[in-house]
Structure 1
Amino acid sequence: MSEQSEAPRETGPSFADAAWSVPSYLLSGMAIWGGIGWLLSEWSGWDLFKPIGLIMGAGLAIYLVYVKYGR
């Protein structure tokens, strides 16, 4: 009986995973935090929370991408 060796598996994320997850992080971060900002704007009557939520969501998403793929 001959033993066949398996091909080595990659331990890190592949390029296709990164290509799909980076835009997903950005869109979901802006959608979630932008939605929170929109809700706060509707509740308080100030329109200032909408752009703050969008910027905060984009910033946190960029930070998550850096932590996951940048190191």
Structure 2
Amino acid sequence: MSTPSQPEPTSPDEPSAEDKAEELRSFNIREQDSAWRAVAYLLTGPLIYGGLGALADHWLGTSWLVGAGIVGGMALSLYLIWFRYGTQ
């Protein structure tokens, strides 16, 4: 006759399945938060610097600062994302 198998006792140093699941959940939340922050940087950089370029165009009577602001804002956004998340 076979006896029902008993779960092996875990050592006090080994995390339980619930602890592992909670750790995985918190990791996923951190990664999701990082992804949304990167998207926010990609949107706000060109918007802010493009807006500043539009204001400067209006005050100076030029027409090229909007484009320069958008391109510069995107470059700064990509640099910030690379510096913040690419060096981990």
| Same fold, judged at TM 0.5 (above) | yes
Amino acid of the structure 2 residue aligned with 1:50: V
Amino acid of the structure 2 residue aligned with 1:61: S
Q: How high is the TM-score relative to the length of structure 1?
A: 0.79
Which residue of the partner structure matches residue 26 of structure 1?
Answer: 42
Higher relative contact order (CA 8 A, sep 6+): 1
Q: CA RMSD in A?
A: 2.2
Q: CA deviation at 1:15?
A: 2.0
Aligned residues: percent identity?
Answer: 32
Amino acid of the structure 2 residue aligned with 1:35: G
Amino acid of the structure 1 residue aligned with 2:46: M
Task: Name the CA distance, whole Å, in 1 between partners of 2:31 and 2:68.
Answer: 32
Amino acid of the structure 2 residue aligned with 1:63: Y
Which secondary structure state, in structure 2, belongs to the residue aligned with residue 47 of structure 1?
A: coil
